[in-house]
Amino acid sequence: MTARAAAGPGADLRVAVVGGGPGGLYAAALLKRLDPAREITVWERNAPDETFGFGVVLSDETLGGIEHADPVVYEALCRDFVRWDDIDIVHRAFHQTSGGHGFAALGRRRLLEILHERCHALGVRIRFRTEAPDPDTLAAEYDLVVAADGVHSATRARYADVFRPRITAHRCRYIWLAADFALDAFRFEIAETEHGVLQLHAYPYAADASTVIVEMREEVWRAAGFEELDETESVARCAKIFTEALRGRPLRSNNSAWTTFRTVVNERWSHGNTVLLGDAAHTAHFSIGSGTKLAVEDALALAACLAEQPDVPGALAAYEAERKPVVASTQRAARASLEWFEELRHQLDLPPRRFAFNLLTRSRRVTHGNLRLRDARFTEAVEREAGCPPGTPPMFTPFRLRGLTLRNRVVVSPMDMYSAAEGVPGDFHLVHLGARALGGAGLVMTEMVCVSAEGRITPGCAGLYTGRQAEAWRRVTDFVHTRAPGTAIGVQLGHSGRKGSTRLMWEGMDEPLPEGNWPVAAASPLPYKPGSQTPRQLTRAQLTDIREQFTAAAWRAARVGFDLLELHCAHGYLLSGFLSPLTNHRTDAYGGSLEKRLRFPLEVFDAVRSVWPAERPMTVRISATDWAEGGTTPEEAVEIARAFARHGADAIDVSTGQVVADERPEFGRSYQTPFAERVRREVRVPVVAVGAISSWDDVNSLILAGRADLCALGRPHLYDPHWTLHAAADQAYEGPGAPWPTPYRPGSRRPPTGRTDAPKPRLTLDG
Residues serving a catalytic function are: 573
DSSP 539: P
Nearest CA to 550 out of 600, 604, 496 is that of: 604
Give, for 162, the enclosing helix (H) or strand (E). Answer: helix 160-163
Rg of the chain in Å (alpha carbons): 30
Please, what is the end-to-end C-alpha distance for the chain in angstroms?
A: 34
Instruction: Give the Cα separation of 156 and 555 in Å (integer).
Output: 62
Instruction: Give the Cα separation of 174 and 221 in Å (integer).
Output: 9
DSSP 346: G
Q: How far is CA 698 from the centre of its chain?
A: 11
Contact assessment for residue 454 and residue 573, using Cβ atoms and an 8 Å cutoff: no
Contact assessment for residue 54 and residue 182, using Cβ atoms and an 8 Å cutoff: no
Instruction: Give the Cα separation of 178 and 52 in Å (integer).
Output: 11
Instruction: Give the Cα separation of 188 and 202 in Å (integer).
Output: 7
- Which ranges in 423-573 belong to alpha helices (H)? 427-438, 467-483, 505-508, 540-559
* 364 backbone dihedrals φ, ψ, rounded to 5°: 70, 5
Residues constituting the chain:
767
- Which ranges in 394-438 belong to alpha helices (H)? 427-438
Residue 70 identity: D
Q: Mention every residue, 6+ apart, whose C-beta is less than 8 A from residue 637.
A: 622, 623, 624, 625, 654, 675, 678, 679
Contact assessment for residue 675 and residue 664, using Cβ atoms and an 8 Å cutoff: no
Neighbouring CB atoms inside 10 A of 37's CB total 12
DSSP 278: G
Contact assessment for residue 458 and residue 579, using Cβ atoms and an 8 Å cutoff: no
Which three-class secondary structure state does DSSP give residue 266?
Answer: strand
Contact assessment for residue 402 and residue 650, using Cβ atoms and an 8 Å cutoff: yes
Give, for 286, the enclosing helix (H) or strand (E). Answer: none
Nearest CA to 521 out of 493, 542, 547, 550 is that of: 542
Contact assessment for residue 51 and residue 181, using Cβ atoms and an 8 Å cutoff: no
DSSP 147: E
Q: What angle do CA 179, 180, 184 make, to 5 degrees?
A: 80
Q: What angle do CA 292, 293, 299 make, to 5 degrees?
A: 85
The number of CA neighbours under 13 Å toward the Cβ of 250 is: 7
Instruction: Give the Cα separation of 70 and 58 in Å (integer).
Output: 16
Q: How far is CA 84 from the centre of its chain?
A: 27
Nearest CA to 407 out of 440, 446, 439, 445 is that of: 440
- Which ranges in 309-367 belong to alpha helices (H)? 312-342, 352-360
